[in-house]
Amino acid sequence: MSNPARAEIEDLQGMVDLASLVFKSEMGKIFPVLFSQENVENMTIVKEKGRPVSMIGLLPREISFFGHRMKVGLIGSVCTHPDYRGKNYGAVTLAKAEEHAIDIGLSLLIISGGRGLYQRFGAVRPPGTKRILVKPGRTASMREAKISDIGKILDLYRMKPLRYIRNFTDFEKTFSTGYAEARKTKTYLSEKAYITVVEREDNHYVIEYGGGSKDVISLTRGYIEKLGLKGCIIVAERHFKAEESLPFEFPGTAKIISKRSFFDQMEGYFTEIMPSEDYDRFIETVERLSLAEFNQEVFCCSKFKGLPLSLPNYGFDYI
């Protein structure tokens, strides 16, 4: 069995070929930032006969929680060539990727999927989002967004209290693909909002938005009117204001990989929302927990204020 290692520039095309074969998509085209020379050193692979046969895609990012930044790693394009399955490459490669993530100061891994491999790795399902069904009604004037609108889109996106921190150039590359969450998408703008929509088998979904809740709903109604639909679903974070909503499962799993990094990066968030005595009690509690128990505390079943911790919906940041 070959050992996992960090990828090098000469492995890049082999990784694109492997992922494209397994996922039956043009993965280099859909995910140009993940599969780039600038990011190749964050990828972990197993090679056989000089080519990658198993891989873990990792893209370092930051999330803003009400202005407090946490360093995270987005995990995706996890795959093994069909001829090399059953060798435990997925598990050992994921463990090696975690080591690298800790070394570069990441505190959390967010994985696009809920496979048994990720559960055995210790990843848990974070709190979900809202599912808001929008029906025809009063609309806002709208137009389809273009590359030249990226500045405005990012201005609106920055208004969100819970979001990924985006690099303009990287976002331009991602937006230019015409894909989000591995599906073809379109983005529409009004004066005060934008929405990014994908069509799935059962409905049309707004998977990303920016602007005030009322403006986003009005723009979504404009989309409904434009396409002659009966309705459209907004996948919204918990802070989105709507009269009615249903739970919507987070489409991935997450794992805190370093308690120390997590508290170094998020102490300000917790001390801002917890009285000092509660924060001290929180620290005392989690110090006694294993990493697996700590993940349950943060994402699943805590009684402390500000927990469980929600994550932003993927949108264009999906890998």
pLDDT tens-digit map of 144-196 = 999 999 999 999 999 999 999 999 999 999 999 999 999 999 999 999 999 99
Look at residue 101 and give its three-state secondary structure. Answer: helix
- Protein fold of 129-248: Aminopeptidase (3.40.630)
- Burial class (CB within 10 angstroms; exposed 0-12, middle 13-18, buried 19+) of 37: exposed
Residue whose token pair is 């991602």: 174
Q: CA-CA distance, 14 to 46, in Å (whole number)?
A: 11
Question: What pLDDT was estimated at residue 294?
Answer: 96
- Protein fold of 5-127+252-312: Aminopeptidase (3.40.630)
Start-to-end CA span in the chain (Å): 28
CA 245 to chain centre: 22
Q: Helix count (H) and strand count (E) of the chain?
A: 10, 15
Q: In the 8-state DSSP scheme, what is residue 179?
A: E
Pair 229, 139: CB distance under 8 Å? no
Question: What pLDDT was estimated at residue 239?
Answer: 86
Radius of gyration of the chain (CA): 20
Q: In the 8-state DSSP scheme, what is residue 124?
A: B
Core vs surface per residue 289-303: b (16+ CB within 10 A) or e? eeeeebbebbbeebe
Residue whose token pair is 């434009």: 226
* Residue 127, CA distances (Å) to 108, 249, 283, 299, 313 in order: 15, 7, 22, 7, 11
Phi, psi of 177 (to 5 degrees): -70, -25
Question: What pLDDT was estimated at residue 74?
Answer: 98
pLDDT tens-digit map of 96-135 = 999 999 999 999 999 999 899 999 999 999 998 999 999 9
Phi, psi of 275 (to 5 degrees): -60, 155
Look at residue 283 and give its three-state secondary structure. Answer: helix
- Which of 94, 72, 90, 100 lies closest to 22, judged by CA? 90
> What ranges in the chain are assigned the alpha helix state H?
12-23, 27-30, 89-103, 116-121, 150-157, 168-176, 213-227, 259-273, 276-287, 291-299
Q: Which two tokens stand for residue 207?
A: 């998977």
Question: What pLDDT was estimated at residue 126?
Answer: 94
Looking at the chain, the domain(s) classified CATH 3.40.630.30 span 5-127+252-312, 129-248
Q: CA-CA distance, 289 to 99, in Å (whole number)?
A: 21
Peptide bond into 275 cis (omega under 30): no
Q: CA-CA distance, 304 to 229, in Å (whole number)?
A: 42
- Which of 52, 46, 40, 47 lies closest to 15, judged by CA? 52
Question: What pLDDT was estimated at residue 1?
Answer: 66
pLDDT in single tens digits along all 319 residues of the chain: 689 999 999 999 999 999 999 999 999 999 999 999 999 999 999 999 999 999 999 999 999 999 999 999 999 999 999 999 999 999 999 999 999 999 999 999 999 998 999 999 999 999 989 999 999 999 999 999 999 999 999 999 999 999 999 999 999 999 999 999 999 999 999 999 999 999 999 899 999 999 999 999 999 999 999 999 999 999 999 889 988 899 999 999 999 999 999 999 999 999 999 999 999 999 999 999 999 999 999 999 889 999 999 999 999 999 9
